[in-house]
Structure 1
Amino acid sequence: MRTDYVHGYTPAETRRLADQAQTLAELLHGGIAYPPGARVLEAGCGVGAQTVQLVTRHPGIDLVAIDISEESLAQAKERVGPDARVEWRCADLEELQGEEFDHIFVCFVLEHLRDPTAALIGLRQLLRPGGTITVIEGDHQSAFYHPRSAAAQAVIECLVDLQAEAGGDSLIGRRVQPLLAAAGYDDVRTEPRTVYADETLPHLVDGFTRKTFIAMVESVREQALAQRLLTPAEWAAGIRDLERTAEPGGTFHYTFFRGIGRT
């Protein structure tokens, strides 16, 4: 399950992932219940931003967290702490063959894969009968905002195009249900998980609009300019207009999609 991570492995990206996980904790994890003693796999744990939520919300689970980056795993271990009940592994899916899990959690991973269906098929082979997989992905074209701005939309499209060039799909949220179905999961249920921010919701304006979404777009600035997708002046204008959506009178909307399938 190797990825080309378009956002890069920088301290700023690590902060963004942590801000995102904390801000959207209930939106993404609400309603999921893993019982004590369940063996759970977090596939693609990265720097542990979502791992914190898993160990906090589901005490007593036996969690195996895997990632292909040793550096990310080291940060995840530090973030989660030594007392957490987590088995950390630097591994790919192929290295888990023959193991079994009651539940699998995959968050913001499929969007970076060249073949998400193959990854989901591989994960299904690790689930015990009756086990579940939870997949959470976003869709950058679900971002709409006020004030409207062609310049802001242009910088968002840079992110969409660069992720596609790297072999991923930043619009994959709309595909969660068909991907799970194509991979052979049963009883697939998918629902939108929508975040909306305006000046009456300052925690979401700061935690999501500024520190999650705008920061995510900003992460591809150097790539976008190097490929001359926009000029520096066009990029600055687009980011400035995105920032206006986080000011008084501005609004921002984005939809994540959470799918759950069974074996």
Structure 2
Amino acid sequence: MEHNHNDNHEHEEMDPGIMYEQQWVKDLVQKLQQEIVVLANKGWLGLDDSKSQRVLDYACGHGTISLALLEAFPSATFQGLDSHPAQVQRFNDEAQKALEPGSSQSRMWAKVGDLSTSPAKDFETEEWFDFDAIIMSMALHHVKDPLQMLRQLKKRLRRGGTLVIIEFHGAEHRKHDHYGRQDSGNDEMEMIYAPGGQKIWPGLNKSWLDQALADAGFDKASIDIVPGPTFTIPEELSQHSHGGEKQLVFAKAVA
């Protein structure tokens, strides 16, 4: 499929694969997988391990989240979507390694694409709607208009389906309470430069996530901050003092 480009993402041409070789990213991936499995075991994700359900791993990268949940939900299908062809290839390679010989290869697979603004016709078919859950991990901070992204994801969920957003937590500060919202007077100029040169929002705080999920039309939001610093971004990799110890925030809402 032809790569679907749009200007809502800040770094579509950069292959982030090299980042996974850095130790702080390896630590982050391990922490993400540990935490998502804990939440899955508690039933927090809103998935039923006894039913055949469909999960969209949006901005899937090389499969961190889907790989962590394969065993917990043996009847679920994990569809990955990412704007980077190299990441999609890695996702599919990892899926082949993870799935048992003889098992259905359709349980975990990914495709190149972007749902944030004007999705290609390929993504207007039934297989890209009515998901039981959508999980977007460590990617919303790359999107120029995060609120619009949440609205687009809601359209892809079945009624009663669950959206899970995983992010690094930003300071509860008024200046950054309304990332990308046109009525706030703030725009992408407030994004900062991060490792690799891409622009990102400097952490999405709990207050913003709570309000944005409501504005996007979701119900029953539940937002949890993982206690204590959970990973560290080296200071030398980032401008504007974006490095240092970070916390993770897990936000869940029902469509």
What's the TM-score once normalised by structure 2's chain length? Answer: 0.68
> Within the alignment, does 1:22 sit opposite 2:43 as a pair?
no
Q: Verify the 8 A CA contact 1:135 1:260 in the aligned structure 2.
A: yes
> Within the alignment, does 1:60 sit opposite 2:75 as a pair?
yes
Structure 1 alignment gaps of length 5 or more: 143-159, 198-207, 231-237, 243-252
- Evaluate the alpha carbon distance shift between residue 87 and residue 24 of structure 1 in structure 2; reply closer, same or farther with a 3 A threshold: closer
Tell me the distance in 1 between the aligned counterparts of 2:15 and 2:65: 16
> Within the alignment, does 1:49 sit opposite 2:64 as a pair?
yes
Q: Verify the 8 A CA contact 1:52 1:80 in the aligned structure 2.
A: yes
Tell me the distance in 2 between the aligned counterparts of 1:182 and 1:63: 27
Structure scoring higher RCO (CA < 8 A, sep ≥ 6) equals 1
If each structure's helix is expressed as a fraction of its own residues, which one has the higher value? 1
State how 1:1-263 maps to structure 2 within 5 Å.
Answer: 2-5=8-11, 9-16=15-22, 17-32=25-40, 33=43, 34-35=47-48, 36-82=51-97, 83=99, 85-93=107-115, 94-95=119-120, 96-97=123-124, 98=126, 99-139=129-169, 141=171, 161-163=192-194, 168-174=200-206, 175-196=208-229, 208-209=231-232, 213-214=233-234, 217-220=235-238, 224=239, 254-263=246-255
- Evaluate the alpha carbon distance shift between residue 116 and residue 11 of structure 1 in structure 2; reply closer, same or farther with a 3 A threshold: closer
Q: How many residues align?
A: 203
- Report % sequence identity: 19
Task: Name whichever of 50-59 and 9-18 sits farther off.
Answer: 9-18
Offset at residue 87 of structure 1 (A): 2.7
Alpha carbon RMSD of aligned pairs, Å?
Answer: 3.0
Offset at residue 29 of structure 1 (A): 4.1
What's the TM-score once normalised by structure 1's chain length? Answer: 0.66
1:134-153 per-residue CA deviation (whole Å, 9 max, x = no partner) reads 111113559xxxxxxxxxxx
1:84-124 per-residue CA deviation (whole Å, 9 max, x = no partner) reads 62131111112433522111111111100001111111111
Greater Rg over alpha carbons, structure: 1
